[in-house]
Amino acid sequence: MKNLFVTIVMLLSLFVLSAGNTLAFDATAEKYFDSGQYEECIKRVESLPDFKKDMSNVMLIAFSNLQMYNFTKQKHFNNEYKAYYDMIVAKSGVDNLRSILFFVNSEDKPDVVKAARKLLKEIFNGLYKIEDIVKILPFTSSSDKDVREYAFTAIERIMDPIRDMVKKGGTMRPIDIQYFTNKEVITTAIDNINISKAKDILLLIEEPAIPYLENVQGNESLKVHEAILKKINERKKKFPDSSWYSATGKKLD
């Protein structure tokens, strides 16, 4: 029954991810932006009712102004870009990540890509809930190397204080256990084991990662496996009755 509950929680989390991150761009404005018709994009977005309530469309108008500045060097466009960018930083969150990825993937607009990466990193830096991990996870497979590294860094940063609680003598929460044992989190880290933060994630997960590592060939997986065994031994020396999620060996229902 407990396993069924965990499965249901994870499926609901993934559903929320899919629903919350759906692109909400105005189709006409998006087409204008993609084709380089930036002034038309700005006019289209500004004509939408309450357009400032939708961060996806605010991103279109912000980055259109950035492009207009790049092509004309008129300060007006740069000032508009900065104002809208500040608005995006203040109001965007985890549910806007997929929208930002659209701009990260705009390869023919290098300044937009650079600015979008920065924005993505800022949002990642603001995430702290363990359940945010499933919303970050899709970005670990991005074609953009920087985005992949930002994603793994964010996941590692969220998990680190939770593992630290056990090191200090505490016990993880039930919700932490769900995500530390999540198959997709573990296998994604193993698939990207050459990224240093992915290795760090496996070390933080500790014992639950071992069965997966044992089924993988390669020197890197072997090294991580051995490093985890060393950490387990260190934990057992300090806390003889400990489990991977509790320094006291406390059983959670």
* % of the chain beyond a pLDDT of 70: 91
Give this prediction's pTM. 0.81
Cα distance between the two ends of the chain: 11
Whether residue 138 sits in one domain with residue 99: no
Residue 246 in any domain: the answer is no
- Structural domain harbouring 66: 2-125
Provide the pLDDT confidence category of residue 95 given band limits of 50, 70 and 90.
Answer: confident
The Cα 209–Cα 95 span in angstroms is 29
Do residues 62 and 31 make contact, with C-beta atoms less than 8 angstroms apart? no
SS3 193: coil
**Which of 107, 125, 143 is at the close of a domain?**
125
pLDDT digits (tens, 9 = 90+) for 8-52: 334 433 333 333 344 579 999 999 999 999 999 999 999 999 999
pLDDT at position 204 over 80: yes
> Looking at the structure, do residues 221 and 201 belong to the same domain, yes or no?
yes
Same domain? For 6 and 120 the reply is yes
pLDDT at 222 over 80: yes
Count of domains observed in the chain = 2
Domain boundary among 125, 145, 171: 125
Q: How far apart are CA 105 and CA 142, in angstroms?
A: 9
Structural domain contains residue 247: no
Specify whether 14 is located in the same domain as 93. yes
Residue 42 domain flag: yes
119 and 10 in one domain? Answer: yes
Q: What is the pLDDT of residues 100-144, one digit of tens each?
A: 989 999 999 999 999 999 999 989 998 999 999 988 998 998 888
The answer to whether residues 16 and 68 belong to one domain is: yes
DSSP-H helix ranges across 168-214: 174-180, 183-191, 196-205, 210-213
Q: pLDDT (tens digit, 9 = 90+) per residue, 62-81? A: 999 999 999 999 999 999 99
Give residue 61's pLDDT. Answer: 97
164 belongs to a structural domain: yes
Q: Which residues, including other chains, have CB under 8 Å from residue 73's CB and lie 6 or more apart?
A: none
Q: Where is the domain boundary, 125, 158, 192?
A: 125
Q: Residue 25 in contact with residue 57, Cβ under 8 Å? A: yes
- Integer Cα distance of 120 and 92 in angstroms: 10
Mean pLDDT confidence for 152-166: 97
Q: Are 123 and 91 in contact (CB under 8 A)?
A: no
Q: How confident is the model at residue 97 (pLDDT cuts 50, 70, 90)?
A: confident
